[in-house]
Amino acid sequence: MSDVLREQKRYYAERAPEYDDWWYRRGRYELEPAALAPWRADVAEAEAALEASLPGRTVLELAAGTGIWTRKLIRLADRVVAVDANAEPLALNTGEAELVRADVFEWEPAERFELVFFSFWLSHVPEERFDEFWSLVRAALVPGGRVFLVDSGAGDTAHTGTAQADGEETRSLADGRTFRIVKRRWRPDELEEYVRPLGFALDLRDTANGHFLYGGGGLA
């Protein structure tokens, strides 16, 4: 698994220049109008839920990437610290967040936050690192702090050049190079049950058109 995680890290470093094309459905990720409207509706649904959960908070964003969600967090929160393992996406992460280059699997927070946020990250956490990751989340939260996450829906197939097998996917870049990554697509009820023994009570749901899983909660 360590080999796959290293390959996953390289993939997201190399993918940084084209990552936003996927989110905004540009270039090879472009959708026909009939498919684009449901995608945009699901984006709006997840964004509205985040906005409702966030005002006035200090936020830690894990695996922040190019800053698609960082820029939303900055508008909603008093302070945002954004952590990512790769310099390439952080270079594109513009705004007023405090940027930290660190591998989430190796980093320890020096302070605590009112909200820990991560988007399209939990599905890349392998089984053997799952409990460890949630221990990090716990360590980063103030008493009464909360978690909010957004990720791929269990049935979503919105990536280009994706082959799936046994909790891994093979992803392609625009130049044709391929990389193995971890990808576990959670159902809301499944993930809620999975984190409950770790001390978290989450309220999760799929967006109306199934593209994303989202929601949050706190310590049980």
d(CA 196, CA 44): 28
pTM of the model: 0.95
CATH at 29 = 3.40.50.150
Range of the domain at 131: 2-219
pLDDT tens digits for range 104-147: 999 999 999 999 999 999 999 999 999 999 999 999 999 999 99
Provide the domain count of the chain. Answer: 1
Each of the 220 residues of the chain gets a pLDDT tens digit; together they read: 689 999 999 999 999 999 999 999 999 999 999 999 999 999 999 999 999 987 678 999 999 999 999 999 999 999 999 999 999 999 999 888 999 999 999 999 999 999 999 999 999 999 999 999 999 999 999 999 999 999 999 887 666 567 677 789 999 999 999 999 999 999 999 999 999 999 999 999 999 999 999 999 999 8
Helix/strand/coil (H, E, C) string of the chain? CHHHHHHHHHHHHHHHHHHHHHHCCCHHHCCCHHHHHHHHHHHHHHHHHHHHHCCCCEEEEECCCCCHHHHHHHHHCCEEEEEECCHHHHHHCCCCCEEEECCCCCCCCCCCEEEEEEECCHHHCCHHHHHHHHHHHHHHEEEEEEEEEEEECCCCCCCCCCEEECCEEEEECCCCCEEEEECCCCCHHHHHHHHHHHCEEEEEEECCCCCEEEEEEEEC
